[in-house]
Amino acid sequence: MEIKSIGIVGAGQMGNGIAHVMALAGYDVILNDINREALDNAMELMTANMDRQVSREKITAEAQQKALARITTTTTLTDLGKADLIIEAATERETVKQAIFDELMPHLQPHTILTSNTSSISITRLASRTDRPEKFMGFHFMNPVPVMQLVELIRGIATDEETFSACKDVVDRLEKTAASAEDFPAFIVNRILMPMINEAVYTLYEGVGSVKSIDSSMKLGANHPMGPLELADFIGLDTCLAIMNVLHDGLADTKYRPCPLLTKYVEAGWLGRKTNRGFYDYRGETPVPTR
C-alpha cells in the first residue's frame, strides 16, 4: 500500500521532529496533542528549525513553505483516523499508549497502519490490545529526528510483511536508514546505550570518577561526541530510568539494575536539560556538574 497521509500523536520533542521530516518528505501530516499550546510551540519550533536548514542551504525556502503548509494540527485525537499511517509519540507510559490506541480504533480506516515510537515497550503487547496486530509495529526515531539518520523498525509477533514493507518505504523516502529489530526489551540502540549510561552513573555513585572526569574520559578516550552523563541529561533521566526498568523487568538480569543514584536524581525532579538540572546544572551560561 502507498502511504500518503500520516497522523502523529504527541507534539513534544519527538512528535514535532517526526512531523518536520515527514512534511519535508512530501507527506500530509496531522499532528495531535491534548494541549493547544504544545501544538503552537511545535509549529514555532519546526519553523525555526527549518529556517536554520534554509540558512545552511540544506533545504530551499520553497521546500520549507510547502512542508509547513502540509501540516495541520488538532487537539481531537480521532481526527487522525483518516490517516494511512499513525505514529504514536506520546509519553513513555504503556497505560497512556494503550488509552490512545483504544480511543483511535473505532475511527480508523481498514488499511490504517498503527505504530509506536516507543523506545522500549513491547510492540507485541501493545499490538495485542488493538483490532489490527498484523498492521501494528514499532517505528522508533532517534532524537533529534531531523538530524539522526537511524530509524528502528520493530516487528511484533503478528506484524505482517506488507506492514513492514510500507513502513520501510517511508524510511527510505525520508532518506534515513532502517534497522530491523526484534521485539525484545529496548530493541537495539537502547539495549546497548542505556546500560552504558547506567554504568557511568554507577561509576559516579561509587566515586570512581566525577561527572567531568567520566564525560571527558569517554569523549577523549573512546571518541564519543558526548559524554554518557551529558547524553543522559539530553535524553532525560526519567526516560533513562524508565528504559532501565523495562530492561530489568523484561530480562530479569541483575546487570540491568538501575543505579540508585539515577533513581535519586529522578525523585528530586532533576531530569536533565528539560528541567535545567541533572548531572549538570544548566541555569547559568555554562553547564556546571552537580556532583
Residue 10 annotated as binding? yes
Residue 11 annotated as binding? yes
Residue 143 annotated as binding? yes
Residue 14 annotated as binding? yes
Residue 4 annotated as binding? no
Residue 230 annotated as binding? no
Residue 250 annotated as binding? no
Residue 169 annotated as binding? no
Residue 119 annotated as binding? yes
Residue 5 annotated as binding? no
Query: Catalytic one among 16, 140, 198, 230?
Result: 140
Residue recorded with cell 495485542: 128
263-271: which pairs have CB atoms within 8 A and are 24 or more residues apart? 265/237, 266/237, 266/238, 266/241, 270/237, 271/236, 271/237, 271/238
Report the distance separating Cα 22 and Cα 89, nearest Å.
14
Q: Is 111 a catalytic residue?
A: no
Question: In the 8-state DSSP scheme, what is residue 79?
Answer: G
Which residues does residue 31 pair with via DSSP β-bridges, in sequence order? 8, 73
Report the distance separating Cα 128 and Cα 116, nearest Å.
13
Report the distance separating Cα 74 and Cα 33, nearest Å.
7
Query: Catalytic one among 88, 190, 198, 230?
Result: 190
Q: Is 119 a catalytic residue?
A: yes
Query: Catalytic one among 5, 152, 198, 230?
Result: 152
Query: Catalytic one among 119, 120, 122, 198?
Result: 119
- Give the angle 197-271-268 at the CA atoms, nearest 5°: 110
Q: Is 140 a catalytic residue?
A: yes
Cβ within 8 Å of residue 222, ≥6 positions away? none
Q: Is 190 a catalytic residue?
A: yes
Q: Residue 267 burial by CB count (10 A; 0-12/13-18/19+): exposed, middle or buried?
A: exposed
Give φ, ψ of 266 to 5 degrees. -65, -40
**Binding-site residue positions for NAD(+):** 10-15, 33, 92, 97, 119, 143, 274
**Binding-site residue positions:** 10-15, 33, 92, 97, 119, 143, 274
- Supply the residues annotated as catalytic: 119, 140, 152, 190
